Amino acid sequence: MIDPAGVYFTWPDRRLAYTCAGCGACCKGLGIGLDVTGGQLAQLVARRPDVVPFLRRRGEATTLWNPRDRCWFLADDGNCRVEVEDGRAAKPAACRLFPFNRVFTLGAITVVDYNSVICPLVLDGPAPIAHADVLAELATIRDPAIVGVTLPAEAGGEAMLAAERADAAALQARAATPSDAPGWLATAVGASDDEVAGVRGLLDALGLAPRPLPAATRAAALALVPSLRFNELWGPRQYAPRAVVRPRLTAMTLAWLELAAIGAALAGRDLGMQELTTLWSEQAAVTYAAACWRDVPRLKPGPLELPGSDPGGVVRALGQACVDNRKAGRTLGAIAAPILAAAAPVDRATALKLAEPLWRAALGRG
């Protein structure tokens, strides 16, 4: 039984909702997590022995492989045949939890995260999901591979997670009283004047004017922040060690909000949570550069890791400038702004993304 006091939910209680329209997006090619300890594998094999060749091991878990097009059990009408024929309790554990099926543990803390890419979650829709309901569902599952994938143990990791939890609560408290006053958004995400200036510096270098962030997009984005931060810290991207990335997440968030405002203006409508999540991932190299705009990049002399395509030689120029910067100690902004200014407008943002390996090597190593 998970102690509720030790759970960090990466979304605000009773704010996220979804109406399952049977799109089946969650049932396509993901593999299915089964509550093996709770007997679900034995039950499934007994009822449907043809699943046996499609079982696989994933770390400590046994999962059922399914084709990318759709799960074996997804019916043409969008319903789950396991649920329809055998009842909801027989439905694979990960499917019952979805989209709140990303459960991790670190020391005494359990993190419950969600999938905001695949599931069309909305903020403040009908029948919002309560943390207590997710906990009740988790209590029915016994397999530790489903209810607690262990995060890497490292010095300070649990304290960092506890700090993320506290920061998330503070952010949601600030977000509860939104304002259109200038600078409110920066205050809401806890950005300092330096961080604001760094983000502005990068956007200026890209020739991007600030746009207003529509209220609904802003609310959805702020609700997403804790989850995005958690995944940036403990997900696979890893621009730098966690302790180095964490202080840069606020500026990354602010840069992402600026890009979201530009996206909303481009689309002429509010952006949803799925779009905002993918925007974070797609633009991470740019927002990380924004977060490091006032840092000093340095590279050792030697072959540069360059992309196969480097229009205008912008990445090469950035890399060489980082090598030449070993003694000069200039900031990324001081180095990159003139290089970007001399580049064709279409090459500027693409170069910042292509330079991702450079950011890993030259920036934010602590």
Contact residues for ligand SF4, defined by CB under 6 A: 27, 32, 71, 73-74, 80, 82, 91-92, 95
Q: Within 10 A of 180 (CB to CB), how many other CB atoms are there?
A: 10
Least Å distance, CB 186 to ligand SF4, is 41
Query: DSSP state, 57?
Result: E
ω into residue 247 within 30 of 0, thus cis? no
* Residue 193: both structure tokens together: 């004047």
Q: Within 10 A of 145 (CB to CB), how many other CB atoms are there?
A: 23
Give me the amino acid identity at 134. Answer: V
Q: What angle is formed at CA 317 by the lines to CA 311 and CA 321, rounded to 5 degrees?
A: 160
- Which is nearer to ligand SF4, 115 or 217 (by Cβ)? 115
Least Å distance, CB 26 to ligand SF4, is 6
* Residue 347: both structure tokens together: 């090459």
Least Å distance, CB 8 to ligand SF4, is 26
For residues 297 and 363, the answer to whether their CB atoms sit within 8 Å is: yes
- Which is nearer to ligand SF4, 91 or 248 (by Cβ)? 91
Least Å distance, CB 2 to ligand SF4, is 22
- Which is nearer to ligand SF4, 71 or 106 (by Cβ)? 71
The beta strand positions in 107-211, using DSSP E, are 109-113, 122-123, 149-150
- Which is nearer to ligand SF4, 74 or 358 (by Cβ)? 74
- In terms of Cα–Cα distance, which of 44, 55, 54 is closest to 82? 44
CA distance 134 to 342: 52
Least Å distance, CB 290 to ligand SF4, is 38
- Which is nearer to ligand SF4, 80 or 189 (by Cβ)? 80
- Which is nearer to ligand SF4, 92 or 263 (by Cβ)? 92
Least Å distance, CB 177 to ligand SF4, is 39
Taking CA atoms, 99 is separated from 18, 24, 31, 216, in Å, by: 9, 12, 14, 22
Phi, psi of 57 (to 5 degrees): -95, 135
Q: What angle is formed at CA 121 by the lines to CA 166 and CA 353, rounded to 5 degrees?
A: 75
Give CA 20 to chain center in angstroms.
Answer: 22
Least Å distance, CB 24 to ligand SF4, is 7
Least Å distance, CB 212 to ligand SF4, is 40
